[in-house]
Amino acid sequence: MDDFSIDKVVDTRGSLCPGPIMALIEAVKLADINTVIEFFFEDEQSVKDASLWINKVGNQLLVNETVDGYFRIVVKKVK
Amino acid sequence: MVTKIVIVGGGSAGTITANLLARNLYKNITSGKVIINLITDSPDHIYQPGYLYVVFDKARPEEITRKQKDLLDPHINLFIDPAVNIDRDNRVVVTKSGREFDYDYLVVATGSRIVPEDVPGLQEGSYWFYDMQSAIRLREALMNFNGGKIMISMGIPHKCPVAPLELTFMLYDFFKQKDMLNKVQLHYTYPINSVHVLEPVSNWAVREFERKGIKYDTFFNMEEIDPVKNVISSMEGDKFGYDMLITIPPHKGAQVIEDSGMGKNGWVPTDKKRLFNANYENVYVIGDTTDIPISKAGSTAHFQADVVAERLTSIISEGNTSIEYDGKVVCFLESGFDEATYIWFNYNTPPNPSPPSRMLHWMKLGYNRLYWLTARGIL
Ligand SMILES: Cc1cc2nc3c(=O)[nH]c(=O)nc-3n(C[C@H](O)[C@H](O)[C@H](O)COP(=O)(O)OP(=O)(O)OC[C@H]3O[C@@H](n4cnc5c(N)ncnc54)[C@H](O)[C@@H]3O)c2cc1C
């Protein structure tokens, strides 16, 4: 069981353009501080890019896992 | 019984839909069985891709502007009176003047708008080209630019994902023509860790940037502009000085969408294939205002308008439809003043840009004129 509750879900699967990372940045940017957002990605490269950006900006990556062949990450906006 | 169709928004998506419906349902309209009301907020219809050409003095404002009423089939009722509330439960649209338009089917096509006020310092410190006034202002600034560093930066989301690259390549050719390349440094930044959302386009653009000596940085999301010191800072902690800053401000959907509780930031939850609003199958949503993860582009608006017009025609005349949107988007991308490339993609097929050529550039210029036929539902 996760010890946090998800405030928003963004499913980027099937998104070609504007693309998964654009969707992630937009969602995090528009969220209030302390919001917890769950993202679903189709490809591993997006997860790598997402983690890179989250660390660069200084937000928290709470979960990074593979579920049934796709990828789930959970981010907490702290900055 | 009369079937009433209300279309809100007289831009690309709304105008094409209205004209196609008027043609498809001509007999029903002339016999009084169908009424089409188009509600919009301006008497003028502007071909927005033309702004890019206004910036470089390659189009005059009047060339890219037509009267909305001249573009519409005479069987469509036009109301220039902005919608202020859309009540989906009671099936009524209320306009600024207080008029109420009830409907059986609604098409929401209110587009997107720039919100420079969302980035501190942007309004004071930056030029942009996403409306007529700002395109003219940028044109004048470029004419008087004596050299230095030009930063190009963009907010998310923004419509027309190819416009930032087009602007950059056209700036390069503009200064080349003026023999000023030795005095000007172009510096392009992009929000994600490539220079364009579509990987094949990004790979191509990077090669062009390197060949042309255009500096670029990725993972750059503008956070603040200091218009006095001429410094732009990003969420990622980077800071760059500039002599001229050109941005694409972040976008939101129309205010009426949020005011009517139809979607946060003006983006309306939309079924990506059938194009109706969640829980309201009689409310279609097309063009920039959908929340579908796809380019906000004129071609998207056009293909979605085709689908919605066909769906509504079939539903009204036959009671059912199987027509769906496959995610098709087509874009010509100027790679300078003389050449362009071309991409198309859909939900299942990634894009593969063709090599830039003069012919594709002429096709883009040709389409800039042919757009008026598209808007009329002819092409
Ligand atoms: C500089 C630039 C370059 C571009 N280049 C390209 C390109 O090369 N290729 C491409 O495919 N696309 C391009 N685009 C994007 C394209 O113009 C848009 O994606 C397209 O116009 C979207 O169509 P739409 O009908 O959804 O929105 P719009 O065409 O913007 O129309 C929305 C309409 O709704 C009206 N409206 C808003 N609120 C209300 C209200 N409350 N009541 C009534 N009416 C309302 C607005 O006034 C407007 O008329 C470009 C855009 C810009 C700015």
Query: pLDDT band at B11, cuts 50/70/90?
Result: very high
Nearest to B235 among A12, A22, A57 (CB): A57
| pLDDT tens column, B270-329 | 999 999 998 999 999 999 999 998 899 999 999 999 999 999 999 999 999 999 999 999
Share of residues in chain A with pLDDT > 70 (%): 94
Is ipTM strictly over 0.95? Answer: no
Instruction: Please report whether residue B30 resides in a domain.
Output: yes
Q: Which is the closest atom of ligand 1 to the Cα of B305?
A: 25
Contacts of B362 (CB under 8 A, 6+ apart): none
Residue A44 has pLDDT above 90, yes or no: no
Residue A16 pLDDT = 66
In contact, A57 and A79? CB cutoff 8 Å:
yes
Q: Phi/psi of residue B178, each to 5°?
A: -90, 10
B244 and B258 housed in the same domain? no
Judged by phi (left if over 0) then psi (alpha if -120 to 50, else beta), residue B64 lies in alpha
Q: Which domain holds residue B42?
A: 3-111+254-329
> What is the pLDDT averaged over residues B106-112?
98
Indicate yes or no: CB of A22 within 8 angstroms of CB of B197: yes
Cα B11 from chain centre: 9
- Residue B56's SS3 state is coil
Instruction: Please report whether residue B334 resides in a domain.
Output: no
Instruction: Please report whether residue B371 resides in a domain.
Output: no
Indicate yes or no: CB of B293 within 8 angstroms of CB of A15: yes
Which residues, listed in sequence order, are joined to residue B67 by a DSSP beta bridge?
B44
With 0-12 / 13-18 / 19 or more C-beta atoms within 10 angstroms meaning exposed / middle / buried, residue B210 is exposed
How close B197 comes to chain A (CA, Å)? 6
CATH number of residue B90's parent domain: 3.50.50.60
Residue A10 pLDDT = 85
**Does the CB atom of residue B248 touch ligand 1 within 6 A?**
no
Give the whole-angstrom CA distance, residue B363 versus residue B108: 30
Instruction: Please report whether residue B231 resides in a domain.
Output: yes
**Does the CB atom of residue B56 touch ligand 1 within 6 A?**
no
B101 and B176 housed in the same domain? no
> What is the pLDDT averaged over residues A3-25?
83
Best of A9, A11, A16 to mutate (most B CBs within 10 Å, chain B) = A16
Chain B, nearest residue to A26 by Cα = B156
Share of residues in chain B with pLDDT > 70 (%): 100
Residue B55 has pLDDT above 70, yes or no: yes
| pLDDT tens column, B193-218 | 999 988 888 999 999 999 999 999 99
The token pair at A30 is 């528009």
Name every chain A residue with its beta carbon within 8 A of the beta carbon of B221.
Answer: 25, 29
Name every chain B residue with its beta carbon within 8 A of the beta carbon of A19.
Answer: 192, 197-198, 293
Chain B, nearest residue to A58 by Cα = B236
Contacts of B12 (CB under 8 A, 6+ apart): B48, B287, B298, B301, B302, B305, B374, B375
Using the Cα atoms of residue B295, residue B299, residue B305 and residue B307 in order, give the sign of their dihedral. negative
Residue B110 pLDDT = 98
Give the whole-angstrom CA distance, residue A16 versus residue B198: 7
Query: Class of A8-76 per CATH?
Result: alpha beta
**Does the CB atom of residue B164 touch ligand 1 within 6 A?**
no
Give the whole-angstrom CA distance, residue B197 versus residue B234: 19
Indicate yes or no: CB of B294 within 8 angstroms of CB of A15: yes
**Span from the CA of B89 to the centroid of ligand 1 (angstroms):** 27
Instruction: Please report whether residue B358 resides in a domain.
Output: no
Touching check for B118 and chain A: CB below 8 Å?
no
Residue whose tokens read 């591993």:
A44
Residue B338 has pLDDT above 90, yes or no: yes
How close B288 comes to chain A (CA, Å)? 12
Residue A17 has pLDDT above 70, yes or no: no
B162 and B145 housed in the same domain? yes
Nearest Cα residue to B135 out of B57, B34, B204, B189: B57
B191 and B203 housed in the same domain? yes
- Which of A40-49, B7-16, B47-56, B295-304 has the lowest average pLDDT? A40-49
Indicate yes or no: CB of B156 within 8 angstroms of CB of A56: no
Catalytic residue numbers of A?
17
Residue B70 pLDDT = 98
Render B179-241 in DSSP notation, one character per residue: T-TTTEEEEEE-SSSSSSSSHHHHHHHHHHHHHHT-EEE-S--EEEEETTTTEEEETTS-EEE
Chain B, nearest residue to A21 by Cα = B192
Out of B201, B221, B250, a domain closes at: B250
Nearest Cα residue to B66 out of B378, B373, B372: B372
> How many independent structural domains does chain B possess?
2
Out of B206, B224, B250, a domain closes at: B250
In contact, B297 and B48? CB cutoff 8 Å:
no
Out of B250, B280, B295, a domain closes at: B250
B90 and B149 housed in the same domain? no
Instruction: Please report whether residue B339 resides in a domain.
Output: no
Name every chain B residue with its beta carbon within 8 A of the beta carbon of A14.
Answer: 272, 293, 347
| pLDDT tens column, B62-104 | 999 999 999 999 999 999 999 999 999 999 999 999 999 999 9
Between vectors from CA B161 to CA A46 and to CA B165, what angle results, nearest 5°?
A: 105
Residue B197 pLDDT = 87
Q: Phi/psi of residue A53, each to 5°?
A: -70, -40
**Span from the CA of B18 to the centroid of ligand 1 (angstroms):** 15
Residue B194 pLDDT = 94
